[in-house]
């Protein structure tokens, strides 16, 4: 089971290579509400954290054979960027109607992109086929404990920057980020090993931080997985394409059940409303996926004396952003 120490070790591995993204308050959302602006991270989302931790764990032979990944776009860009930085060849499986901006950015970072699959479910079959053919190492977007540990460094930063936080709200696709954060805050109050990056205590009051997973009603992979206790296939249809996983990972479901992660669904209109709010009032140019956590707070479904919403995902096309912002 992924734990706090795994996340602390991941932070030491990736230290100095990524931004420590800012956390700030939003009085308009309410007293005690904070926003973790992870959209300012390298490649525009938290994904780079887990990717760097995974690449660092690979052997020289694995690096020589290259990596393969699957993604709607944010993980794709992070893998392409990270692999280029490490001199590793990257092949990324996307699908035909994936965001053209995200496909272009992934290629721009240097990866080869395969778009033969018609949609997310078919893309996983294509992934298995190409992995068998090429012998590349898979950098999974949401079901690898090493990737989870890297993503969890977001949680370490939150409890350091907002030590009084009692609720962390996280948008979810396949469950990688919320899994890492749940593991990170399970150790709140423990002391990091000597020599770890950042040093010192992660906070006070072990076990006091509530973690809430937020998904679109039209892409409820983790929600369904938590109810069933196992991965359940779904057909993602949300405008929040960054949350469009066709199932949640086994590891994510196990950790979230063990850590008591709560699950909330939001509507498409609520996501759009939150995105407009973040653009207009918080000045955060996020994609729809980045607005989902705030949507749950704005809809009154999440409370707490000190709440932090993770805003991750700044990769939205001008056309999509303009259409949502023009709505009333």
Catalytic residues, which ones?
47, 312
CA distance 300 to 68: 40
Strand partners, 25: 34
Rg of the chain over CA atoms, in angstroms?
Answer: 18
Side-chain-side CA neighbours of 153 within 13 Å: the count stands at 32
CA distance 12 to 56: 11
Q: Is residue 33 within a helix (H) or strand (E), and if so which, with residue range? A: strand 33-37
Q: Which residues contact 40 (CB under 8 A, 6 or more apart)?
A: 19, 21, 22, 314
* DSSP letters spanning 58-95: S-HHHHHH-EEEE-SSHHHHHHHHHHHHHT--EEEEEE
- For residues 236 and 245, is the Cβ–Cβ distance under 8 A? yes
CA angle 62, 63, 69 (to 5 degrees): 85
Q: Is residue 21 within a helix (H) or strand (E), and if so which, with residue range? A: none
CA distance 159 to 26: 17
Q: Reading across the β-sheet that carries 112-117, which strands appear in turn? A: 112-117, 90-95, 67-70, 137-138
For 47, the 3-state DSSP assignment is helix
CA distance 74 to 14: 18
């Amino acid at each position: 089971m992924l734990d706090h120490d795994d996340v602390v070790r991941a932070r030491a591995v990736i230290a100095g290579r990524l931004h420590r993204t800012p956390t700030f308050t939003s009085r308009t959302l309410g007293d005690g509400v904070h926003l973790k602006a992870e959209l300012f991270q390298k490649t525009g989302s938290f994904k780079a954290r887990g990717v760097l931790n995974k690449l660092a764990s690979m052997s020289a032979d694995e690096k020589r054979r290259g990596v393969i990944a699957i993604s709607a776009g944010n993980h794709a860009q992070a893998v392409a960027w990270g692999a280029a930085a490490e001199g590793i060849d990257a092949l990324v499986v996307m699908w035909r109607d994936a965001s053209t901006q995200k496909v272009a950015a992934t290629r721009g970072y240097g990866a080869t992109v395969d778009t033969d699959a018609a949609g997310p479910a078919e893309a996983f079959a294509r992934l298995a086929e190409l992995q068998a053919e090429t012998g590349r190492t898979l950098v999974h977007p949401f079901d690898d404990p090493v990737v989870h540990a890297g993503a969890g460094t977001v949680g370490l930063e939150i409890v350091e920057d907002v030590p009084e936080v009692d609720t962390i709200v996280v948008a979810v696709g396949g469950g990688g980020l919320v899994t890492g954060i749940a593991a990170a805050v399970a150790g709140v109050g423990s002391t990091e090993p000597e020599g770890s990056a950042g040093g010192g205590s992660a906070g006070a009051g072990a076990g006091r931080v509530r973690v809430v997973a937020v998904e679109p009603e039209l892409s409820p992979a983790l929600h369904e997985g938590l109810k069933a206790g196992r991965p359940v296939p779904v057909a993602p249809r949300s405008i929040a394409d960054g949350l469009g996983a066709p199932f949640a990972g086994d590891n994510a479901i196990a950790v979230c059940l063990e850590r008591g992660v709560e699950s909330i669904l939001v509507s498409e209109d609520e996501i759009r409303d939150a995105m407009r709010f973040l653009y207009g009032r918080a000045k955060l140019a996020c994609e729809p996926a980045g607005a989902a956590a705030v949507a749950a707070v704005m809809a009154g479904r999440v409370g707490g004396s000190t709440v932090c919403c993770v805003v991750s995902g700044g990769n939205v096309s001008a056309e999509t952003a303009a259409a949502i912002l023009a709505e009333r």
